[in-house]
Chain A
Amino acid sequence: MKLTLRIWRQKGPGDKGAMVEYPVDGISADASFLEMLDVLNEELIAKGEEPVAFDHDCREGICGMCSLVINGTPHGPERNTTTCQLHMRKFKDGEVIDVEPWRAKAFPVIKDLVVDRGAFDRIIKSGGFISAPTGTAPEAHSTPVPKPDADRAFEAAECIGCGACVAACPNGSASLFLGAKVTHLGLMPQGQPERWDRVVSMLETHDAEGFGGCTNTGECTVACPKGIPLDVIGRLNHDYIKATAGGAKK
Chain B
Amino acid sequence: MVDAFYKSGEPIADAKAPQGPIEQRWTTRKFEAKLVNPANKRKKKIIIIGTGLAGGAAGATLGEAGYHVVQFCFQDSPRRAHSIAAQGGINAAKNYRNDGDSVHRLFYDTVKGGDFRARESNVHRLAEISTQIIDQCVAQGVPFAREYGGLLDNRSFGGTQVSRTFYARGQTGQQLLLGAYQALMRQVDAGNVELHPRHEMLDLIMEDGRARGVVVRNLLTGEIQHHTADAVVLASGGYGNVYFLSTNAMGSNVTASWRAHRHGAYFANPCYTQIHPTCIPVSGDHQSKLTLMSESLRNDGRVWVPKKGGDTRRPADIPEDERDYYLERIYPSFGNLVPRDIASRAAKNVCDEGRGVGPGGLGVYLDFADAIERLGRKTVEAKYGNLFEMYERITGENPYDTPMRIYPAVHYTMGGLWVDYDLQSNIPGLFVTGEANFSDHGANRLGASALMQGLADGYFVLPTGLGDYIARNNLGPVSATAIEEAETRVTEQIDRLLAIDGDRTVDSFHRELGHIMWEYCGMERTEEGLRKALELIPALRAEFWSRVKVTGTGAELNQQLEKAGRVADFLELGELMVIDALHRTESCGGHFRAESQDEDGEAKRDDENFSYVAAWEWAGSDEQPVLHKEALEFEYVHPTQRSYK
Chain A residues within CB distance 8 Å of chain B: 12, 27-28, 30-32, 34-36, 38-39, 42, 45-46, 48-51, 53, 55-65, 78, 80-81, 85, 87, 89, 110-111, 114, 116-118, 120-121, 124-126, 128-135, 137-141, 143-147, 150, 153-154, 157-158, 160-161, 184-185, 188, 190-191
Contact = CB atoms under 8 A, between A and B. Distances in A.
Contact of A124 (B82, B94, B181): B181
B174 A62 contact: yes
Contact of A87 (B57, B80, B143, B393): B393
A157 B557 contact: no
A117 B182 contact: no
B140 A62 contact: no
Contacts of A134: 57, 60-61, 64, 136, 183, 459-460
A63 B77 CA distance: 10
Contacts of B61: 134-135
B491 interface: no
A185 B141 contact: yes
A110 B80 CA distance: 18
Contacts of A131: 186
Contacts of B149: 144
Given A28-B284, A45-B549, A124-B181, A118 B141 contact: no
Most buried by A among B136, B146, B389: B146
B460 A63 contact: no
Given A134-B459, A150-B150, A158-B174, 17 more contacts: A28-B286, A30-B284, A30-B286, A31-B284, A32-B288, A39-B286, A60-B85, A60-B390, A65-B75, A85-B390, A131-B186, A135-B61, A137-B132, A137-B135, A157-B143, A157-B175, A190-B139
B505 interface: yes
21 contacts: A27-B286, A31-B284, A35-B286, A35-B288, A48-B549, A51-B559, A58-B84, A61-B390, A62-B85, A63-B82, A63-B85, A65-B76, A124-B79, A130-B140, A130-B182, A134-B136, A135-B459, A161-B77, A161-B79, A185-B141, A190-B139
Interface in B546-571: 549, 551-552, 556-557, 559-560
Contacts of B77: 117-118, 120-121, 161
B146 A135 contact: no
A121 B210 CA distance: 33
A188 B140 CA distance: 10
A57 B551 contact: no
Interface in B130-169: 132, 134-136, 138-141, 143-152, 168-169
B476 interface: no
Contact of A138 (B60, B135, B197, B459): B135
Contact of B178 (A138, A140, A147, A157): A157
Contact of B560 (A51, A154, A160): A51
Contacts of A45: 505, 549, 551, 560
Interface in B460-513: 460, 503, 505, 507-508
Nearest to B458: A134
Contacts of A51: 551, 559-560
Interface residues of B, number: 81
A161 B174 CA distance: 11
Contacts of B150: 144-147, 150
Interface string B75-103: 11111111011000000001010000000
B200 to A, nearest CB: 13
Contacts, number: 219
Given A124-B182, A134-B60, A144-B150, A89 B78 contact: no
B564 to A, nearest CB: 11
B216 interface: no
A121 B560 contact: no
B25 interface: no
B85 A116 contact: no
A49 B552 CA distance: 9
B458 to A, nearest CB: 9
B396 interface: yes
Contact of B174 (A118, A137, A160, A190): A160
Nearest to A127: B189
Nearest to A43: B505
A139 B78 CA distance: 28
B251 interface: yes
B609 interface: no
Interface in B389-409: 389-390, 393-394, 396
Contact of A137 (B84, B139, B289, B549): B139
Contacts of B132: 135, 137
Contact of B140 (A28, A38, A132): A132
B3 to A, nearest CB: 41
B557 A110 contact: yes
Contact of A139 (B135, B220, B559): B135
B168 A154 contact: yes
B136 A135 contact: yes
Interface string B373-391: 0000000000000000110
Nearest to B175: A157
Contacts of A114: 557
B594 interface: no
B621 interface: no
A45 B276 CA distance: 33
B37 interface: no
A140 B94 contact: yes
A135 B394 contact: no
A126 B186 CA distance: 7
B182 A128 contact: yes
Nearest to A156: B143
Given A53-B557, A56-B250, A130-B182, A81 B84 contact: no
B183 A129 contact: yes
